[in-house]
Amino acid sequence: MPHIHTQVNLPISREQETAMKTAMGRAIGAIRGKTEAYLMLSFEENARLWLGGEDSPCAMLEVSLLGGASHEECDRLTGLLSRIIEETLGVAQSRIYVRYSMTQEWGWNGAQF
C-alpha cells in the first residue's frame, strides 16, 4: 500500500504526469513486496515551495508505506524517484527532498489491513 505524493513549484503537463506515473509504477519495485497494483500517486503542481531561500524549481516527495522498508531499499527508491523528477520536469536532484513514512495501520476497501 504505497502512496507517493509529489509537490513541485512548477506546472506539470498531462504528458509529464503520465510519464511520471509510468516510471514511478516501475520504481516502486525497489521496495520489496511493493508493486504498482496498489500504488497510489498524487501530483501537486505550482506549489509554493522554497529551498535554500530560493523559489527556483524544487520538489518534495512523500512516500508512505504500509509496513517498513530497509535503508537500502529507501536509498534505491530515492535515487529512482529523483531521476524521474529530474528527467521529466528538469528539477535538479540537489533540489529534491524525499521523505518516508511507514505505518502498520492502513485502511483499504472498508477495513484495516
Flag whether 48 is in a domain.
yes
- The answer to whether the predicted template modeling score (pTM) of the entire model surpasses 0.75 is yes
Residue 19 is predicted with a pLDDT of: 98
In a domain, 40, yes or no: yes
Q: What pLDDT is recorded for position 1?
A: 86
**pLDDT value of position 38:** 94
In a domain, 113, yes or no: no
- Coil, strand, or helix at residue 57? coil
The CATH number that applies at residue 42 is 3.30.429.10
Question: What pLDDT score does 105 carry?
Answer: 92
The pLDDT of residue 86: 98
Structural domain includes residue 81: yes
Using a pLDDT cut of 90, give the percent of the chain over it: 95
Low-confidence ranges of the chain (pLDDT < 50): none
Domain assignment present for residue 112? The answer is no
DSSP strands (E only) in the chain: 3-8, 40-44, 59-66, 96-103, 107-108, 111-112
Give kind and range of the element (H or E) at residue 94: none
Q: Which of 3, 85, 76, 75 shows the shortest CA–CA distance to 38? A: 3
Provide the residue range defining the domain that includes 40.
Answer: 3-106
Count structural domains, the chain. Answer: 1
pLDDT value at residue 30: 97
Residue 10 lies in a domain: yes
Contact yes or no for 92/86 (Cβ under 8 A): yes
